[in-house]
Amino acid sequence: MSVSHVTTHILDTAAGKPAAGVAVELYARDGEAWSQIGAGITDADGRVKELGPERLDSGEYRLTFATGAYFAGIGQDTFFPEVSLAFTVNAAEAHYHVPLLLSPFAFSTYRGS
């Protein structure tokens, strides 16, 4: 199994557990538009390791998380139907890990390792 240049991990901080079954899409900026270049579903540990290409060019990228569907699936209301995170990639960097700490009415993120 290869690991993509960008990976993610979602923790449901309100429930105190990984957020399994969340659809995640990876996009690359193409001028003024965004082009989808990868997609995955979080596993039982809340991780997506095979999200897109093994190597990305330097540029702007975006992760979109289907948080509304996740919360609907566990019978929880949420303020965010989706979370979208834009970030910059330097092709010289070996790996980008972008975790999402999620609750029904708040989220945060950071660049992980």
Smallest Cα–Cα separation from 15: which of 84, 56, 75? 75
Question: Known binder of ligand: residue 29?
Answer: no
11 Cβ contact list (under 8 Å, min separation 6):
17, 18, 19, 46, 99, 100, 101, 102
Question: Known binder of ligand: residue 70?
Answer: no
Phi/psi of residue 39, each to 5°?
-160, 155
18 Cβ contact list (under 8 Å, min separation 6):
9, 10, 11, 12, 42, 44, 45, 46, 47
Rounded distance, CA 87 to CA 60, Å? 6
Question: Known binder of ligand: residue 5?
Answer: no
Residues of the binding site: 9, 47, 110
Residues of the binding site for substrate: 9, 47, 110
